[in-house]
A = this chain, B = another copy of it.
């Protein structure tokens, strides 16, 4: 099993370190945070200086996982370009197009496929993580022009070893998707919380499940949410415009006929589709040989809502919704 070198040991990076190590892979980390370094060492993990960690990655031909915020990405990529420019490389940053762009520019010889585990908590830092964080979660692994099947497979294998399933996707399609299902939900939660609190203490004291669930992620560290959402501006604007249009139409309908049927039925239908996907209801299982020409097929499969659930030898097991 290929060794894993994790740069950045916050919630996600720290959880990758634990999960990869738990899967039996040699693993070590590096972090600029003294608190995260101390917490990781307390848990028995090897934490090195970034330079030392990358030199060791070169010696052991390890997979390097970049787990720093988007704002610290360039600095880390420059270090990799200097110490180990041909590294097996992936990342866990929440946008993929900007990361792909920087990697191709700064470390063009890296054997890179981007990654994004769709898991988290409202807490942050190494101490908040766990080896189980990715269990059952989706983990996007990107396929672009320059992606090789070997680099994709390394990133996908890490996701599977961490207990996730892999969603193959283009970087831009990923960013459009997460604008709708992750970044817009954070904006909605913030706005809902504010409109509720504007109703005064009486309103908050009457708040129950619908408000608590709808505002839960407003409890997350707003600086981290800001970095994530502002880093996906163009795609998020599209999603916000869709939401504004729909909320405006709902307003018009309520003000005129008083009817909310269309809004509520459409939301109910959409939520049922999500639930069906979560149960794996109506999917077919098949295998894909991991040859270079498989990449475009894998990406198409991701577009259809499909996933890779296992990789053995040179075969990937896939599940794709029927119809």
Residues on A close to B: CB < 8 A?
A: 118-120, 137-138, 140, 167, 169, 173-174, 176-178, 180-182, 184-220, 222, 225-226, 229-230, 233, 236-237, 239-244, 246-248, 250-251, 254-255, 258-261, 263-275, 277, 302-307, 321
Q: Which 10 A-B pairs have the closest CB atoms?
A: A190-B267, A201-B305, A197-B270, A193-B270, A218-B271, A177-B203, A118-B208, A185-B210, A218-B267, A180-B199
A-B contact pairs, 17 of them (CB 8 A): A138-B205, A177-B202, A181-B204, A185-B214, A189-B271, A190-B268, A195-B239, A195-B242, A197-B274, A201-B304, A201-B305, A202-B302, A212-B274, A215-B271, A230-B258, A230-B259, A243-B247
Known: A187-B260, A250-B187, A263-B191. A219 touches B118 (CB 8 A): no
Report how far A54 CA is from B93 CA in the complex, Å. 64
Measured between beta carbons, the chain B residues less than 8 angstroms from A254 are 230, 233, 236-237, 240
Report how far A295 CA is from B242 CA in the complex, Å. 47
User: Which of A140, A178, A203: most chain B Cβ within 10 A?
Assistant: A203
Measured between beta carbons, the chain B residues less than 8 angstroms from A303 are 200-202
Protomer copies: 2
Closest to A274 in B: B204
Task: Say whether B230 contacts A240, CB under 8 Å.
Answer: no
Contact among B185, B198, B201 with A321 in the assembled complex (CB-CB below 8 Å): B201
